[in-house]
Amino acid sequence: MTTLIESNEHKSLREAVAAFAKTHPHTLNAEDNKRLWQEAAKLGYIGVNLPEAYGGGGAGITELALVLEELGAAGNPLLMMIVSPAICGTVIARFGTEEQKRDWLPSLADGTRLMAFGITEPDAGSNSHRITTTARRDEATGDWILTGRKVFVSGVDIADATLIVGRTEDARTGKLKPCLFIVPRDAPGFERRLIDMELNAVERQFELTLDDVRLPADALVGDEDAGLLQLFAGLNPERVMTAAFGIGMGRHALSRALDYARERTVWKTPIGAHQAIAHPLAQAHIELELARLMMQKAAHLYDAGDDIGAGEAANMAKYAAGEACVKAVDQAVHTLGGNGLTREYGLGRLITASRVARIAPVSREMILNYVSHQTLGLPKSY
Ligand SMILES: Cc1cc2nc3c(=O)[nH]c(=O)nc-3n(C[C@H](O)[C@H](O)[C@H](O)COP(=O)(O)OP(=O)(O)OC[C@H]3O[C@@H](n4cnc5c(N)ncnc54)[C@H](O)[C@@H]3O)c2cc1C
């Protein structure tokens, strides 16, 4: 039987990923994390959205989000799934040359290679129209030369290359004309500096300097003039996947709190019988379910080829999931009392981790701005 929301295939995939994730320890070291990534890839989970002709599973963002959600619900989120298969894999599959597809997609799918994604800049932040990383052509050789800075880019150290969003120098209109470049990790002039984040996670963030990084002509992905369209083809999946990341983490925290609330007894009944404990947990569950529905809608629209419709839904899903995640983690920590902050129970570290879903890749406020302007037709303040 097929339900409106999730097919039997999806349910089976969900169960299989959940069972797989449970067999792995919580990954707080790079080695375990890498093993988890590679085993998940071998089972076809990491490249489930990539085209079959290039070693992927031939499914969509719906399935990829489902995988990430279940890994996260088991306490094993793989942050780089938001980036490597979802943004980079999608952009290359949709706009890359035949050679780029053959070069990158099979290895992104089978887990042997990873790609990071860099758009955020220190002086632009949420205002990506202001990015200044500049690509200019060397007319003699046809090479591209990239100069600029990026910040908070995840996983550059473990990624074989980073997909960098730049802009062409001769943009006469002054409007954003993004271009995407594959920059190998060891390209001369491509330097990274680790940012000391207060995040207890395997994936690390870097500030990047691109100092006249020379790239061959075929480092450009897609059309130099079709920038925004191509960029959004990758950013909508990123938002759906961040929603999956938040929902998975929220579910994980909630399930830990429920286990505790059923057992812990300091008066006559377990603490879960007190409505002050039970109701916020019930609210957290409802909000996570609602966020998941919006995420499924966004993924469905995206997979159906509706980039515009998916844009609005993916923003709303990311917003809902970020808020639901922060709230679920907050309530879970509180449910455990002092144990909410012990290393043994592992919930305290989620306080900072959950905030990532509210800030990145687009902040709560920027989504509210988007909905105010695009959906509700209100004027802009900036
Ligand atoms: C853990 C982590 C991983 C990340 N990974 C990546 C990555 O892999 N690649 C990458 O490119 N980036 C990455 N980022 C960067 C992330 O996308 C940015 O942090 C995010 O887009 C916000 O930009 P900012 O930090 O410059 O904040 P700012 O833009 O400086 O914003 C600061 C605050 O001001 C608010 N604000 C700004 N403008 C407005 C406005 N017009 N109206 C109302 N409020 C406003 C924001 O909502 C926010 O609360 C990561 C960030 C984190 C924390």
State the average pLDDT over residues 92-104: 97
Using one digit for the tens of pLDDT, what is the confidence trace for 275-320? 999 999 999 999 999 999 999 999 999 999 999 899 999 999 999 9
Residue 267 in contact with ligand 1 by CB distance below 6 A? no
Mutate which of 129, 157, 206, 363 for ligand 1 pocket (most atoms within 8 A of beta carbon): 363
Mean of pLDDT values over 113-125: 96
Q: Is the pLDDT of residue 108 over 60?
A: yes
The pLDDT tens digits for 202-222 are 999 999 999 999 999 999 999
Model pLDDT, residue 173 = 66
Residue closest to 28 by CA, chosen among 366, 364, 353:
353
Residues 10-39 have a mean pLDDT of: 91
pTM equals 0.96
- In the chain the domains, ranked by start, together with CATH numbers, are 8-114 (1.10.540.10), 116-224 (2.40.110.10), 228-375 (1.20.140.10)
For ligand 1, say whether the CB of 108 is within 6 Å of any of its atoms.
no
4: helix, strand or coil: coil
pLDDT of residue 2: 47
Q: Name the pLDDT band for 26 (thresholds 50, 70, 90).
A: confident
Residues 6+ apart with CB under 8 A from 186: none
Of 219-228, 240-249, 283-292, give the lowest mean pLDDT range.
219-228
Token pair recorded at residue 340: 């909410």
Residue 197: predicted pLDDT: 97
pLDDT value at position 174?
61
User: Number of helices and strands (H, E) in the chain?
Assistant: 10, 8
Q: 340 CB under 6 A from ligand 1? A: no
Q: Give CA–CA dist 240/243, Å, rounded.
A: 5
Cα of 151 to ligand 1 centre, how many Å? 10
Residue 222 has φ and ψ, to the nearest 5°, of 80, -165
Give the strand pairing for 190-194 and 205-215. Answer: antiparallel
pLDDT at 169: 65
- pLDDT above 50: residue 1: no
Give the residue-averaged pLDDT of 158-170. Answer: 90
In the block, residue with structure tokens 């980039």? 307
Cβ of residue 201 lying under 6 Å from some atom of ligand 1: no
Per-residue pLDDT band at 372 (split at 50, 70, 90): very high
Beta strands in the chain (DSSP E): 115-118, 134-137, 144-154, 161-168, 178-184, 190-194, 205-215, 220-221
Q: Where do runs of H (alpha helix) occur along 86-152? A: 90-95, 98-110
